[in-house]
Amino acid sequence: MLMRKVPVFVPASPWGLRLPQKFLFLLFLSGLITLCFGALFLLPNSSRLKRLFLAPRTQQPGLEVVAEVAGHPLAREQESPPNPAPAVPAPGEGDASSQASTRRRKVWLRRTHPTGTREMATVARSSGSTALRPQEGGIPFSFDFNAFRSRLRHPVLGTRADESKEPQSLVRAQREKIKEMMQFAWRSYKLYAMGKNELRPLTKDGYEGSMFDHVSVGGLGDSFYEYLIKSWLMSAKTDVEAKDMYYEALEAIETYLLNVSPGGLTYIAEWRGGILDHKMGHLACFSGGMIALGAEDAKEEKRAHYRELAAQITKTCHESYARSDTKLGPEAFWFNSGREAVATQLSESYYILRPEVVESYMYLWRQTHDPVYREWGWEVVTALEKYCRTEAGFSGIQDVYSSIPNHDNKQQTFFLAETLKYLYLLFSEDDMLSLEDWVFNTEAHPLPVNHSDGSSRAGGRL
């Protein structure tokens, strides 16, 4: 009775919470749950999340997607439709339920095949046929591997004879050494770090990294310029828009970023907040090869200029290697205070097995066959063996100006994909992945030039 007479008294809950407190607690709890589940849609794709929250897809018996290349079918599982395809009714026989089922199937088709133009193929279990069957209203896709092969102007692996019968030579020995380095680096990665972003050769384990580890300023724009000229080349020189954009960009680079040091070294500086930093990053050293690659299709009066510019930029990048104690180049090098092509602080003195310099060596060798590029390339091979090779792979080093290497315990994946690949091609014949037939993307993956039948020459065979 006393409690009823006191209007401000509210009985406490068994947990000691009053009604407003319970309301705030429930509000906080619901917000936390919403945040946790909502975050799943904002995080990057993760196989771990998929394994935790998504049920595995099952393949509908008798329904497979087949991609056939040169007689080798590859099957890939696809999400099965919610209902089997209904038989097509005779005119006037369709009822509401069948129409609803048809609508559901159309929605499923739009969801799983949003473009509506790519063909899907089915394999009938009864016949075992691997023929491709296009979707209704779609355009059949087919890849004629033999026709593609016949349009290549050079065999993929070149015309040289069997290596076992090839006479011994210095170039062959150098090529074999780089091949051994590639095999050693790959075996180590496969043994200790398979599926991880990179190998830690000192501790013999892998490292996944995260998207917040490092953002390179040099890497935010370089691929754009590179892909302009490479789009022109991949199109068999028909993408005129990409070509024009490339030469316009190259003129702008010359106007605003290109400099020559007092010692005569040509370099591409960096522009930061309206101020020119007389600094060139290792990532920018790909530009020598890029300019050499595009020199042939420039205006006639500019071709010699671009070839010389490519050679001078590549020479500057070589100097950044030659002026270090290890003969490996720093992450960035400066041109100020009487010092040229050297890093001025320890935070820029590291080398992480980057490929850009040897990439330019390879392109300049293919363009000029000047033996200096193979000499410079072999200097890199020797330095890698001496300072970067460890018991379980190759490691970057933290200071290229110290003859006693301090390893960073990371074998970057681009060392396999790019650095060693470009070195191997540097000591190979020109028709090994010929530049007439292939264009290397920014990760050194070869992509075929789109030769038309009329532009191909006889003799292209694998």
Residue positions annotated with a catalytic role: 331
- Would you say 288 and 296 are in contact if contact means Cβ atoms under 8 Å apart? no
Give CA separation, 39 vs 43, 45, 208, 236, 338, in Å. 6, 12, 21, 45, 53
Closest CA to 440 of 321, 356, 334, 335: 356
User: Is beta strand 438-440 parallel, antiparallel or unpaired with respect to 446-448?
Assistant: antiparallel
Q: Which residue bears the tokens 């992480």?
A: 352
CA distance 152 to 436: 8
Q: Which residues contact 80 (CB under 8 A, 6 or more apart)?
A: 58, 59, 60, 63
Cβ neighbourhood burial of 254 (10 Å; 0-12, 13-18, 19+): middle
Give the count of beta carbons closer than 10 Å to the beta carbon of residue 225.
20
Contact in structure between 284 and 359 (CB atoms under 8 Å): no
Is 442 assigned a ligand-binding role in the annotation? Answer: yes
Residues 6 or more apart whose Cβ sits within 8 Å of residue 231: 239, 242
Angle between helices 300-322 and 371-383 (to 10 degrees): 30
Say if residues 361 and 406 touch (Cβ distance below 8 Å). Answer: no
- Asked if 112 and 60 count as a contact pair (C-beta separation under 8 A), the reply is no
Q: What is the largest CA-CA distance in the chain?
A: 111
CA torsion through residues 273, 274, 276, 281, sign: positive
From the list 289, 270, 290, the residue with the least C-alpha distance to 281 is 270
Q: Which two tokens stand for residue 187?
A: 């075996």
Cα(39)–Cα(25) distance, integer angstroms: 21
Q: CA angle, 60 as apex, 56 and 66 as ends, to 5°?
A: 100
Q: How far apart are CA 444 and CA 355, in angstroms?
A: 10
Bind-site residues: 442
Bind-site residues for Ca(2+): 442
